[in-house]
Amino acid sequence: MASLSIRNVRKVYPNGTEVLKGIDMDIDDGQFLILVGGSGCGKSTLLNTIAGLEKPSEGEIRIGGRRVNEVPPKARDIAMVFQSYALYPTMTVRENISFGLGLRKMPRPEIDKAVKRVADILQISHLLDRKPGMLSGGQRQRVAMGRAIARDPELFLFDEPLSNLDAKLRVDMRAEIKLMHRRLGSTIVYVTHDQIEAMTLGDRIAVLKEGVVQQFGTPQQIYDAPVNLFVAGFIGSPSMNFLRGRLLPLGTGSAFGLRRDDGTTMPLPLAGTAGNRRLTSWHGKEVILGIRPEHVTDAAFGSRSGLQIGNQPTNVEGLVELTEPTGPDILAVTRFNGARVTCRVHPRAVPMPGKRLMLAFDLANALLFDPATEQRLAY
Backbone φ and ψ of 179, nearest 5° = -60, -45
Cβ neighbors of 87 (< 8 A, separation 6 or more) are 93, 96, 132, 140, 143, 144, 147
Binding-site member from 16, 133, 328, 338 for other proteins (CB under 8 A): 133
Q: Tell me: does residue 263 bind other proteins (CB under 8 A).
A: no
Q: Is the peptide bond before 293 cis (omega within 30 degrees of 0)?
A: no
- Which of 77/298 has CB closer to other proteins? 77
CB 288 → other proteins: shortest distance, Å? Answer: 41
Would you say 51 and 80 are in contact if contact means Cβ atoms under 8 Å apart?
yes
Binding flag, residue 143, other proteins (CB under 8 A): no
- Asked whether position 338 contacts other proteins by CB under 8 A, the answer is no
Q: Does the protein bind other proteins through residue 356 (CB under 8 A)?
A: no
Q: Is 69 in the site for other proteins (CB under 8 A)?
A: no
Between CA 151 and CA 247 the distance in angstroms is 57
- Selected from 53, 175, 322, 350, the binder of other proteins by CB under 8 A is 53
Contact with other proteins (CB under 8 A): which of 40, 59, 73, 138? 73
- Choosing from 1, 25, 29, 99, the residue that interacts with other proteins (CB under 8 A) is 99
Q: Which is nearer to other proteins, 131 or 340 (CB)?
A: 131
- List, in order, residues 6 or more apart from 321 with CB less than 8 Å away: 333, 334, 335, 340, 353
Cβ-based nearer residue to other proteins, 90 or 276: 90
Q: Which of 55, 66, 67, 104 binds other proteins (CB under 8 A)?
A: 104
- Is 64 a binding residue for other proteins by CB under 8 A? The answer is no
* Size of site (CB under 8 A) for other proteins: 30
Answer yes or no whether residue 200 interacts with other proteins by CB under 8 A: no
**Residue 220: which H helix or E strand, with range?**
helix 219-224
Q: Cα 262 from chain centroid? A: 38
Residue 77 carries which DSSP code? Answer: -
Contact window for other proteins (CB under 8 A) among 71-79, 227-235, 294-302, 350-358: 71-79
Footprint (CB under 8 A) of other proteins, residues 2-41: 14
DSSP state of 210: T
Give yes or no for a contact between 140 and 134, defined as CB atoms under 8 angstroms apart: no
Per-residue b or e along 274-298, where b marks 16 or more CB atoms closer than 10 Å to that residue's CB: eeeeebeebeeeebbbbbbbebbbb
User: Where do contacts with other proteins occur on this chain (CB under 8 A)?
Assistant: 14, 48, 51-53, 72-74, 78-80, 82-91, 99-100, 103-104, 132-133, 140, 147, 151
